[in-house]
């Protein structure tokens, strides 16, 4: 339980927050946080890909918040 609480505190994003992807195949894309998975250290972000909203699951370390 202690490890889970530490992981939850480490993810500095909230649902609805605008973020920028800093690493990986979606580098320089901006998107909106849809869901946070503290147990996996992942964040589901909706980015615009070819003009269409697309959900991608990224590690929270790949993101920069505004």
State residue 15's pLDDT score: 96
pTM of the model: 0.82
Under 8 Å between Cβ of 6 and 54:
no
Under 8 Å between Cβ of 45 and 35:
no
Mean pLDDT (whole number) for 31-48: 94
pLDDT of 12 strictly over 70:
yes
């Amino acid at each position: 339980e202690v490890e889970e609480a530490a992981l939850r505190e480490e993810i500095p994003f909230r649902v609805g927050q605008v973020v920028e992807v800093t690493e990986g195949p979606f580098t320089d894309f901006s998107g909106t946080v849809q869901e946070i998975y503290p147990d996996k250290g992942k964040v589901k972000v909706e980015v615009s890909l070819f003009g269409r909203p697309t959900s991608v699951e990224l590690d929270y370390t790949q993101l920069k918040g505004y």
